[in-house]
Amino acid sequence: LGPCMMVVFVPLYVGLIPGQKLSHATAAIPLMNVSLTIKEIVAGTVEPSMLAITYLSLILTAGLALAACSLMFRRESAVFRS
C-alpha cells in the first residue's frame, strides 16, 4: 500500500507548490490537476477550457481504472481467491 500512496500523494503535493499554475500540460496530469484546479477555483481565476481538460482527464482516468478492474475480476481466481 505504501508505493500506491506515493503515486497518489506526490502529484497532489507537487500541485501545492507555490508558483505552480494550471496550464494545458498540468491540466492533463491526473491528481495534480485536481489540486491546481481547486487552487484556481478558490482564487477565482479558473478558465473554462482548463476546467474542461481537467474533467476529461479525470473521466479518462476513471474509465481506464474501471476497465482494469473489469479485466481483473473476470478471472474467477481473483474473485474467489481459489
Q: What is the pTM for the complete model shown?
A: 0.77
Per-residue CA distances from 53 to 57, 60, 62, 78 (Å)? 6, 10, 14, 34
Cβ proximity of 22 and 37 under 8 Å: yes
3-state secondary structure of 18: coil
Which of the four pLDDT bands, split at 50, 70 and 90, describes residue 82? low
Q: Residue 75 above 70 pLDDT? A: yes
Using CA atoms, how far apart are residues 13 and 70, in angstroms rounded to an integer?
30
